[in-house]
Amino acid sequence: MASRKTHDAVATVGTYKDREGNEKKRYINIGSVFIDDEGRQSLKLDSVPVTPEWSGWVSFYEPKEREASSQQERPMAQNYKDGDGGDIPF
């Protein structure tokens, strides 16, 4: 019996302020929803938020298509800098 991914499981785990000072929600992808040949849905959790800001709710969103070219254009990790201009060690 084959299963296929239908949705991303996403939790809201707090807020942050963007460069303009607007408050935005902080999201984290915590897993995936699958449906099998008989129509049954399953949730596969990859992580569980432990922040006090998490309300316990999980939202499901259709996965976004990723273009292969956009992944290739992404800069290498050594090109990332922290706020002080130093390299981020990952």
* Helix locations, the chain, DSSP H: 68-72
pLDDT in tens, 6-22: 999 999 999 999 999 99
In the DSSP assignment, the letter for residue 75 is P
* Two tokens, residue 81: 């800098």
The residue-averaged pLDDT of 74-89 equals: 50
10 with 62: CB under 8 angstroms?
Answer: no
Q: Count CB-CB contacts under 10 A for residue 48.
A: 10
pLDDT at position 83: 55
Average pLDDT estimate for 68-79: 46
Whether the Cβ atoms of residue 58 and residue 11 lie closer than 8 Å to each other: yes
Q: Which two tokens stand for residue 71?
A: 């992944």
Res 77: pLDDT: 42
Q: For the segment 17-61, what is each residue's pLDDT rounded down to a tens digit?
A: 999 999 999 999 999 999 999 999 999 999 999 989 899 999 999
